[in-house]
Structure 1
Amino acid sequence: MNSDILNIENKIQGVIVRWNMLPPGCTVVVGLSGGADSLALAHFLLKYGKPRHIHLIAAHINHGLRGKEADGDERFVSLWCGENGVGLKILRADVRALAAEKSEGLEECGRKVRYGFFKELAGENGKIATAHTLSDSTETVLMNLAKGAGTRGLRGIPPVRENIIRPLIGITRAEVEAYCAHYGLHYVTDSTNFEAEYERNKIRLGVIPVLREINPAFESAVFGMTGRLSEDDEYLNALARERLKAAVCPGGYRLETLRGLPGPLLSRAIAMGVEKVRRVRLESRHIEAVAKIVREGAGSATVAGRIQCTAQGNTLSIAAGSGPASFGEWSVPFSAPKTVLPDGRTLNVVKLTEKELEKCHKFNKLLFNNLINYDTISSTISVRNRRSGDTFRPAGRGVTKSLKKLFNEGAVAPSLRGKIAMLESGGEILWIEGFGVSQRACVTEGTHNIAEIIIKEFET
């Protein structure tokens, strides 16, 4: 066998063994798109699994986004699995319609659809293998670096997360293609991989080639860095967990113990304390606010999820505030591109690229309830929930309705109405979560600046 290919296979097997990804006799669901990465992974697992009695199931999702190209991918995958004796499960989903219905971004909605399907096939004890490579992890690190991420974000894509495994995480995309070439594996190519409008593609096509000029082994260097950062982070997390446990007292945690912690441990202990109450998306400003009252020994800070942190006497108490079912009135200033809501979710406003804008006009899909005329968004806009007497004029309906009537028609449970987010400017509601934009803010054929409104739940 070619020594280069042997080296690639040893890297893959080394990752599998190091993280104990595939115990003998297990069932593994492999996401198979038909691209080079997923095909190389399925091919390797087929060889690796047979002597170890590993049951392989291929899963393919047709998201309904790329028309004939996606249908061609589905046929290709079906043919490959048939020729190689691999069981195949196919899910066809209208992700665009689902995203519009849930006011989610296409990427987020597609991810939920994929992993929901994978988990259903894997069951309680099966493994889910995805074809993320070292190149994917490197791109993720650079994207997180550009956004000012901390240690967690710079760790890249984890090799293992719960029952999800990534056997190719130690090899580059170039090595994947070399593997395919050696074994004569033909694969399909997603045309969107080369569109420079997308963030990840900008890094892939414009940034990484420059860094490779500085260091030809740049991706391998990143792999080493993420491994060291992971070890450091896990060690600090373990220390913080011990210190937090030692600080437990009636009603919360002893301030005296927490104040003695160095910054890296205190920040982690705060995050862990909050997570024990509710799993929410904490930003650095939340951590800093709680750390401030810990050091000062007095004060209160409300973080994501309406979790109230209070320092009083010698105790830091962390308690959940009103849940979604009992929200009072709330309002937060709109902040582009992301606004953190009181329940820990985020409202994201993403301007469409010229290419996406062209597609919207071309296919006349301008009435999606998560699209808004970006020019109607000003610096005075706020995100809030309902108020007594609120009215709304839905786009294209020609009527103005009270929110009470609108929610009744939409069969929204009274207990959930206080959670629903809306954009308001000068007393006028421009958009309501789940109901869409107002007549004033709607997108028309003459609209030049369109944005997508995406509500994101907290993700672990």
Structure 2
Amino acid sequence: MLEGADRVVVGLSGGADSMTLAHFLLRAGVPLLAAHVNHGLRGRDADGDERFVRSWCAENGVGLRVLRADVRKIAGQTGAGLEECGRRVRYRFLESLCGKNDRIATAHTLSDCAETVLLNLTRGCGVKGLSGIPPVRGRIIRPLIGVTRAQVEEYCAFYGLPYVTDRTNFSREYARNRIRLDVVPVLREINPAFEQAVSRMTRLAAADDALLTAQAREKLSAAKRGEGYCARELARLPQPLVTRAAALAARDAGYTDYSAEHICAAAAILRAGRGSVTAPGGLVFRVEGGLFFIGEAPPPQKEWMTPVQFPKTLTEDGREVIIKLISGEEYQKNSNKFHNLLFYNAVNYDTIKNNSIFRNRRSGDRFRPAGFGGTKSLKKLLNEKKIPPSRRSRLLLLESGGEILWIEGIGASQKARVDGETDPIALIIIRSAVNDK
């Protein structure tokens, strides 16, 4: 997990699991940076968790970065659920703190894995869903994935390690909590080693899924024909390979927001040799002229642009956009005040030229996000970010000299990114349509 790593960025909520992970890595001499997200959902409790984490990190010489996010507001803007939105915010924050050779460590345990498998079962999952939570995914590592929650609590007791308790973990309002509080205890009565049994099953399922996915990848590559795939070649495959090939094709095109039902429907049109299936995020599976295509509904035909005015621009679609200049020194002094804005809505002021414009998206737009080595299609990026089609036509872009510097809800480009040396910084503040005031 740690081979070749320069540093580990640890997600530190203050709960028993994450405190155990941070304490264990600290004792092992691993270079650490702790990251805490205050989601703004639990009021004083969340603020208390933040103070606890700050205090523990200061006492133990652990570097800490804190993000205060209004997850409820972000969820409303993106259409995502609160839990999913919080997860995206956390992982994006963790990724933003990583250097090239860093790892991200999350404190998922074997108990979390067992709960995830049970939750997947209630939704009718396949072999992939039975694989649970992977120990390693890219730069993300989960060192506690073989440890139960009971063992975590024993560790905390042995070392006198303090932690905070999230009271919402005991609310039966959430399906995962009901599984943890009501279902798992019954399964432990049947088999006291229930979680270890789930661990064995997930390893077997993951191995099976990896083999089938590799075979599907090989067949999909062989079926590639220009912008599509030979439908007849894919239709001849066994059902487990057809569905995996369709899912791989969607992911290759930058889509991730689809269900098993959509994939099964895509397999059905492959076998029929014609038809189309529409999934969330603008994803369309289509069989036409013997080829299997992955695409999206086209963006709106009406294109508009408005020259940037300082400090306020009234865009053609009726929004008021304010550009607020702050110095690098001012940001450093008021980091808590500006951090959330900086995270999503800040650019290097020096990249905004006289010919800069605000505009909506265009077919064929490409963008190089901060931290990426090259450009990617805006269509693919929007699907990766799971931005719903209903919002895509309203996304605001900042362009200068034919290059996109910033996208609403995504952030600055590599060229316009903000770092510790940026001075001055331009904060982009978007207000609702003027007629809505």
Category of TM-score, reference length = shorter chain: 0.5 to 0.7
1:44 & 1:203 partners in 2: Cα distance?
A: 28
Pick from 307, 312, 316 the counterpart of residue 284 of structure 2: 307
2:213 & 2:274 partners in 1: Cα distance?
A: 26
Residues 325 and 419 of structure 1 are in contact (CA less than 8 Å); yes or no, is this contact kept in structure 2?
no
1:276 & 1:76 partners in 2: Cα distance?
A: 42
1:256 & 1:106 partners in 2: Cα distance?
A: 42
1:420 & 1:255 partners in 2: Cα distance?
A: 30
Residues 40 and 179 of structure 1 are in contact (CA less than 8 Å); yes or no, is this contact kept in structure 2?
yes
Q: Equivalent residue for 2:307?
A: none
1:112 & 1:251 partners in 2: Cα distance?
A: 31
* Structure 1 position 245, deviation (Å): 2.1
Alignment pair present for 1:107 and 2:83: yes
Residues 326 and 415 of structure 1 are in contact (CA less than 8 Å); yes or no, is this contact kept in structure 2?
no
* Structure 1 position 246, deviation (Å): 2.4
Q: 1:265 to 1:122 in 2, by over 3 A?
A: same
Q: Deviations over 1:34-64 (max 9, x none)?
A: 111011000111122x2xxx31111122223
Alignment pair present for 1:71 and 2:71: no
Pick from 166, 174, 185 the counterpart of residue 209 of structure 1: 185
* Structure 1 position 319, deviation (Å): 4.2
Alignment pair present for 1:28 and 2:33: no
Alignment pair present for 1:130 and 2:110: no
Matches for 1:62-101 after TM superposition, within 5 Å: 62-101=38-77
Secondary structure of 1:171's partner?
A: coil
Q: Deviations over 1:336-385 (max 9, x none)?
A: xxxxxxxxxxxxxxxxxxxxxxxxxxxxxxxxxxxxxxxxxxxxxxxxxx
Secondary structure of 2:196's partner?
A: helix
Secondary structure of 2:90's partner?
A: helix
Alignment pair present for 1:408 and 2:318: yes
1:98 & 1:255 partners in 2: Cα distance?
A: 40
Q: 1:326 to 1:134 in 2, by over 3 A?
A: farther
Residues 319 and 432 of structure 2 are in contact (CA less than 8 Å); yes or no, is this contact kept in structure 1?
no
Q: 1:410 to 1:158 in 2, by over 3 A?
A: farther
Alignment pair present for 1:44 and 2:24: yes
Letter in 1 for 2:243: S
Matched pairs, number: 322
Matches for 1:327-406 after TM superposition, within 5 Å: none
Pick from 220, 229, 238 the counterpart of residue 244 of structure 1: 220
Q: Deviations over 1:200-245 (max 9, x none)?
A: 1100000000011111111111111111111100000111111222
1:121 & 1:273 partners in 2: Cα distance?
A: 31
Q: 1:64 to 1:287 in 2, by over 3 A?
A: closer
Secondary structure of 1:272's partner?
A: helix
Letter in 2 for 1:301: S
Unaligned runs of 5+ in 1: 1-20, 328-404, 422-433, 437-460
Secondary structure of 1:324's partner?
A: coil
Matches for 1:176-187 after TM superposition, within 5 Å: 176-187=152-163
Q: 1:325 to 1:125 in 2, by over 3 A?
A: farther
Q: Equivalent residue for 2:259?
A: 283
When structure 1 is superposed on structure 2, of 33-42 and 71-80 the one drifting more is: 71-80
Secondary structure of 2:32's partner?
A: strand
* Structure 1 position 82, deviation (Å): 2.2
When structure 1 is superposed on structure 2, of 148-157 and 272-281 the one drifting more is: 272-281
2:48 & 2:150 partners in 1: Cα distance?
A: 24
2:88 & 2:167 partners in 1: Cα distance?
A: 22
Residues 81 and 88 of structure 1 are in contact (CA less than 8 Å); yes or no, is this contact kept in structure 2?
yes
Residues 135 and 172 of structure 1 are in contact (CA less than 8 Å); yes or no, is this contact kept in structure 2?
yes
* Structure 1 position 126, deviation (Å): 1.2
Q: Deviations over 1:257-283 (max 9, x none)?
A: 323311111111122233333424233
Q: TM-score, normalised by structure 1?
A: 0.63
* Structure 1 position 164, deviation (Å): 1.2
* Structure 1 position 65, deviation (Å): 2.4
Q: 1:288 to 1:94 in 2, by over 3 A?
A: closer
* Structure 1 position 117, deviation (Å): 1.8
Q: 1:247 to 1:100 in 2, by over 3 A?
A: closer
Q: Deviations over 1:297-322 (max 9, x none)?
A: x312233234242153xx32314243
Q: Deviations over 1:384-414 (max 9, x none)?
A: xxxxxxxxxxxxxxxxxxxxx9952478966
1:268 & 1:310 partners in 2: Cα distance?
A: 17
Q: TM-score, normalised by structure 2?
A: 0.67
Unaligned runs of 5+ in 2: 303-314, 322-357, 363-387, 392-430
Q: Equivalent residue for 1:7?
A: none
Q: Equivalent residue for 1:317?
A: 292
* Structure 1 position 293, deviation (Å): 3.3
2:65 & 2:123 partners in 1: Cα distance?
A: 37
Secondary structure of 2:127's partner?
A: coil
Q: What is the identity percentage for the equivalent residue pairs of Structure 1 and Structure 2? A: 53
Letter in 1 for 2:135: P
Pick from 237, 246, 253 the counterpart of residue 270 of structure 1: 246
Residues 253 and 316 of structure 1 are in contact (CA less than 8 Å); yes or no, is this contact kept in structure 2?
yes
Residues 277 and 318 of structure 1 are in contact (CA less than 8 Å); yes or no, is this contact kept in structure 2?
no
Q: Deviations over 1:403-454 (max 9, x none)?
A: xx995247896659x9427xxxxxxxxxxxx989xxxxxxxxxxxxxxxxxx
Residues 17 and 152 of structure 2 are in contact (CA less than 8 Å); yes or no, is this contact kept in structure 1?
yes
Q: Equivalent residue for 1:223?
A: 199
Letter in 1 for 2:390: I
RMSD of aligned Cα (Å): 3.0
Q: Equivalent residue for 1:199?
A: 175
Secondary structure of 1:69's partner?
A: helix
Q: 1:81 to 1:274 in 2, by over 3 A?
A: closer
Q: 1:326 to 1:162 in 2, by over 3 A?
A: farther
Secondary structure of 1:58's partner?
A: strand
1:97 & 1:288 partners in 2: Cα distance?
A: 34
2:167 & 2:135 partners in 1: Cα distance?
A: 27
Q: Equivalent residue for 1:449?
A: none
1:74 & 1:270 partners in 2: Cα distance?
A: 43
1:262 & 1:251 partners in 2: Cα distance?
A: 24
Q: 1:112 to 1:269 in 2, by over 3 A?
A: closer
